[in-house]
Structure 1
Amino acid sequence: MHDAAHGVTLDEIYHARARIKGQVSRTPLWHSRALSERFAAEVYLKLENLQPTGAFKLRGVTNMIAALIERHGHDALAKGVTTASTGNHGRAVAYAASRLGVPAVICLSTLVPANKVAAIEALGATVTRIGQSQDDAFEEARRLVKEEGMTLIPPFDDPLIASGQGTIGLELLEDQPDLDRVILGLSGGGLLGGTGAALKAIRPQLNVTGVSLSAGAAMFESLTAGHPVAVEEVESLGDSLGGGIGLDNRCTFALVRDVMDDHFQVSESAIANAMIDMLEQEKMLVEGAAVVGLAALEEHQIDIKGQKVALVLSGNGVSLETLDQARQLAKR
C-alpha cells in the first residue's frame, strides 16, 4: 500500500497533522439518526463543510505551504502562489496566502460558479478566468510559475496535498475505530487517496468507496483504461468533482488505484435529491459534491445494513441559485 510511486504514507499523514494543527479545524463526526434509520445502519457524517473555508481542501493546502516554508524558508513564497481549481481548492489557497501575506493568483475555468469566484476574491486573491476546463486553467497556472516565478500549489496531485487530506482518515478512526465503510467523492483523488491511505494503514479491512459524476469521471475512466486519460468536463450540480487528473499524473492515480475498493457513478437527479435531503433532514446546506455518498447509497441501493458507515461531507460551496436547480430537479 505504501507505494513509493505516490509517496503517501501513514508517517507523512501524521507529519501533516502536526503541521496543520491550529490552522485547520478538527471537524465533528456526526451521527445521523435519520440516515441510520433509513439504511438500517449506523451512518455518520464527517463535517468538512465546517472548515474555515467551507471545504476539506484547506488541509492539503496548509500542509503543503507549511512544508515548503519548513524546507526552504518564507522566501520560497516571496513571489506568491498560484493554482488551478474548481473553486474550493482556490479558496483554500487564497485563505492560506492571505494569512501569510503573500500574493495569490487563482486560475479558474468558465465552468466555476460565480459564488465560488466571489468567495476567492473576497479573500484578496486575484482570479483569472480562462478556458472551458480545469486543464485549461492549469496551463495558465503553469505559465505563471514559469514566467513570474510563482509557487504552484496543485489541487490534488502531490504527496503533500494528499497527505494533508489524509488527516481526515486519522480523525475518522479516532472517533469511530470500528468503521466498516467510508464513502467519499472521487475527482482528482487527493481526498479519497489521502484519506484512504490513512484508513487502510490503520484498519485494512475497512471498505473505501469512491463516488464520481455520471459524466466527466476522469479518475474512474483513467483507472478503467489503466493510465491517465482526458475526459470532457461537463456542468454539474457536483461541479467540485469536475476536471481531469492530468495526463502526467504522478501521485493520485497510483494512490487511488491502491486504496479504493469499489466505485459508483451518480446521476444529476440523485445528487439533487441528496442535496435536498441533507437540507431537510439534517438542516445542512452543502454542495452537490458533498452529498454524492448519500446519492450513491440511494441510487445504487448499496447494502450497508448493520454496518458503521461514514459519509464525508466535503464542502458547503453552494449558491441559492444552484440549490434552486437542485430543488427543481429533485424527484419530490
Structure 2
Amino acid sequence: MKPAALLLLAGAALAAAKPTAKPTVYFIRHGEKPSDENDQGLSAQGLQRAQCLRTVFGAASQYNIGHIMAQTPKKDGSRQRPYDTVAPLAGDLGIPVDTSCGRDDSDCVQNVVKSYSGSGNILICWEHKALQDLATALGTKDVSPYPSDHFDLIWTDPSPFKHIMGQTHSRTPVLLARLSDIQPSRAILGTSTIVAVKLPRAEDGQNSTPIPAVHPAHRQPPSRNHGRRQGPVDQNPSRQSADTAPGSNVFLKLENLQPSGSFKSRGIGNFMAAKLRALRDDTNGTCGTRAEAHFYSSSAGNAGLACVHAAVTLGCQATVVVPLSTTAFIIAKLRQAGATDVIQRGASWQEADDYLTRTLIEHARAKGEAAVYVPPFDAPEIWDGNAGISREIARQLGGTARHYPVSFKSRPSGSGEVDAIVCSVGGGGLFSGVMQGLDELHMRHTRVIAVETLGADSLSQAVAKKELVTLPAITSLATSLGARTVCEKALEYALRDTVSTVVLSDSEAISACRRFADEERFLVELACAVCPALCYNGRLAELVPGFSKDSVVVLVVCGGSNMSIDIMDKYAVSQAAKPKA
C-alpha cells in the first residue's frame, strides 16, 4: 500500500479510535542505509532490521503499539527509509503508517501526538538528526541528540512527555556481510592495498640503495604532479636505482592493514559471519540472537585478535585460549581489544586448542551458552575468506601500470597474470585460501611459494613424507607459525607441482624483519618477515621459474601484532649472542 493511501486511512483511524489512557511515545531511527549515497532505500542490514522490528514491537511485545508515524517520503524517493523501516510491522499489526508530517515539521508531530485518542502507544520512526527536535516539541526536557552511530536505540517518552525515561536496545541482529560487501571501514574484515616495490639484489647488502617508500592509498600524500590522488595508489616521487632492476615487479599485498593487524581478519571474520547466520536461522530469525553468542578461539595471538575485533563489532563476547609461549605483550593486546577472558594453557597451540575444545567450550555449553568455536585455520569458511586475497591480487594488478614504473613486456598491458605469490605458512589457512582463490580464477600456472621457519616447518616435513606430520614441539621464535600439524587441505595443495615449500632460519627472519621496517616502514612479525627474506637473501630468483625483470611476484604481507621495536631488538641481541656455525 502506498504512503499516500495510508495517510488517508490514518486520518480515518484517528477519527474512529476510542479514547485511551495517556500514551507512551517510542522514538526510533530508521534502518541502516546503503553505502551508495544515491540509493534512498534501506541496505540489506536495514531491511533485516525492519523485519526484526516485527518481533520487537509486535502484538506479543510489551510495547502495545496503536499508532505508527514516519516522516513524509518525497516524490523523488528520498526520505523513504523511515516508512520502509516500519511498514512490515504496520502490516502485521493492521495499522496504517501515518506519514502526514514532514521531516522537519516538529509542530505537526506534536499536534498528532497531543490529539491522539486511539488505543495503545505511539511509535515514531524518523531520521536521527530530527528526533531530538521532535521530543523537545512534545515538551520533553534535556533531550540529547540521538547517537549517529546507532540504529538500535529506543527512546521511551511517557505522557506527559517531560523526560526520556530510558534508552533501550532493540536487539535486532546485524545482517552479516560477505567479504565483497564490506565497506572501507573494514569493521569486521576487509580488502587490503597492493603496492609495488623494487627489491635489491642480495649482494647489494644492507648498504644498497633503499627501496623507494611506497604507501597504501590512505597514507599517500597528494601527487606532486596532479595536486591530488588520481588512483588507488600513487608512487612516491623518490627515484629508483637502476641497480635494483632484477626485482622490479615485486608487489606487496598489505594484509597487515586489516582491522586486527593481520590477514586473520579475513578468514576468522568470514567464519564468524557464517556461524552467526546459522545461529540466527536456527532460532527462526529471533531478534537478539547476536547478543547471546559467545565466541571461543585458540590462538598464539593473531587469530584471537581477529576473533575479538569481530566479536566486539558484533556485540558478542569472545574468550581466547593461548599457549604458554604467548608473550605478555600480545595478551595485553587481546585484553585491550575487548576479550571477555584470555586463558593461557599448554606448551603449543595444539595443547591450547585441546583444552578449549575438550574442556572449556563443553563447560560453557553445559551452562546454556551459545558457545561458538572459532578454529584459527582449519575450516572451509576460513579458506573462503582468505581466498579474497587472490581475487584482489588479480583485480588490483591490472591497474598498477598506471601508478608504478613496472615492466610487463612479456604480457598484455593491464594483465592480472601473476608468476608467483609468496606467503607464510603456520597451520595452512592463509596458504589454503590463496590456493583456493587461484583455482577459482583458473590461475593454475601461478607458482605459490610457502615459507616457514625451522622449528615450525610442519608443512615442509609433511610434503617430504607426503603425509601429515606432527612436530614434537615448536622451537622457532616465529610462534605465529607454531602449528605442530598443518590442516589436511594445506598438504593437499602443497603436493601440487606449482607449489614450492621453503624453510628459513630464525636468523634470516629477524634480519628481514629489521630491514623491512627500515626500508618499507612496516613493523611485522617474524612469521611475516620470511616472505621479503626470500628477496633479501637472493632465493626468489631460484624459486620462480624463468625469473626476470618482467616477472610479476606478489608477497603477502600477512602482518601480525606480536612485534614491537623492543621485541625486535631483543631478537637481534639473542641472535648476535649465538655462536656462528
Tell me if TM exceeds 0.5.
yes
What runs of 5+ residues in structure 1 fail to find an aligned partner? 1-14
Residue 17 of structure 1 pairs with residue 179 of structure 2: yes
Contact 2:291–2:315 (8 Å) recurs in 1: no
Structure 2 unmatched runs, 5+: 1-176, 201-210, 212-243, 281-287, 366-370, 398-415, 542-546
Aligned residue type for 2:548 = K
1:217 Cα shift?
Answer: 1.1
Counterpart Cα distance in 2 of 1:324 and 1:38: 31
Contact preservation (8 Å) 2:179, 2:189: no
Q: State the structure with bigger RCO (CA 8 A, min sep 6), 1 or 2.
A: 1
* More off after superposition, 19-28 vs 112-121: 19-28
Task: List aligned pairs for 1:159-238, cutoff 5 A.
Answer: 159-176=380-397, 177-202=416-441, 203-238=443-478
More helix by share: 1
- SS of the aligned residue for 1:137 comes to helix
SS at match of 1:54: coil
Q: After alignment, is 310-319 or 224-233 more displaced?
A: 224-233
Pair 1:102-2:316 in alignment: yes
Give the aligned CA root-mean-square deviation in angstroms.
Answer: 2.4
Partner in structure 2 of residue 30 of structure 1: 195
Match of 2:148 in 1: none
CA contact (8 A) 2:199 2:536 kept: no
Moved more, 58-67 or 303-312: 303-312
SS of 1:69's partner is helix
Paired position in structure 2 for 1:7: none
1:120 to 331, 334, 346: 334
Higher mean Cα deviation, 255-264 or 314-323?
A: 255-264
Q: Structure 1 pair 135/43, CA: closer, same or farther in 2 (3 Å)?
A: same
Give deviations 1:196-221, integer Å, cap 9, x for gaps.
Answer: 22124321111111001112212222
Which residue does 2:548 correspond to in 1?
A: 305
Q: Tell me: CA distance 1:173–1:133, structure 2 relative to 1, closer, same or farther (3 Å).
A: same
Alignment equivalent of 1:148, drawn from 336, 353, 364: 364
Deviations 1:311-332 (A, max 9, x none): 111114212332103443479x
What is the SS of the residue equivalent to 1:208? Answer: strand
Cα 1:77/1:209, change in 2 over 3 Å: farther
| SS of residue in 1 equivalent to 2:387 | helix
Deviation, 1:56, is 0.5
Provide the C-alpha distance between the structure 2 equivalents of 1:232 and 1:260, rounded to a whole number of angstroms: 29
> How far apart are 1:77 and its partner, in Å?
7.5
The equivalent residue for 2:351 is 136
Q: Does 1:321 align with 2:566?
A: yes
- Measured at CA, do residues 147 and 253 of structure 1 come closer, stay the same or move farther in structure 2, by a change above 3 Å? farther
Code of the residue aligned with 2:196 in structure 1: it is H
**In 2, Cα distance between equivalents of 1:206 and 1:41:** 18
In the superposition, the TM-score normalised over structure 1's length comes to 0.87
Task: State the shift of 1:19 in Å.
Answer: 5.8
What SS does structure 2 have at the residue aligned with 1:80? strand
Structure 1 contact 275–326 (Cα < 8 Å) conserved? no
1:287 aligned to 2:533? no
Give the TM-score normalised by structure 2.
0.51
Judged with a 3 Å threshold, the aligned counterparts in structure 2 of structure 1 residues 147 and 300 are, in CA distance, closer, same or farther, namely farther
Residue in structure 1 matched with residue 409 of structure 2 by the alignment? none
Cα distance between partner residues in 2 of 1:20 and 1:82: 23
Deviations along 1:91-117, one digit per CA (max 9) or x if unpaired, are 001111111222211010011122211
* TM-aligned CA deviation for residue 233 of structure 1: 3.3
Larger radius of gyration: 2
Partner of 1:9: none
Q: For 1:70 and 1:111, how far apart are their aligned partners in 2?
A: 34
In structure 2, relative to structure 1, the CA distance for the partners of 1:275 and 1:173 (3 Å cut) is same
**Would the aligned equivalents of 2:422 and 2:553 in 1 still touch at CA under 8 Å?**
yes
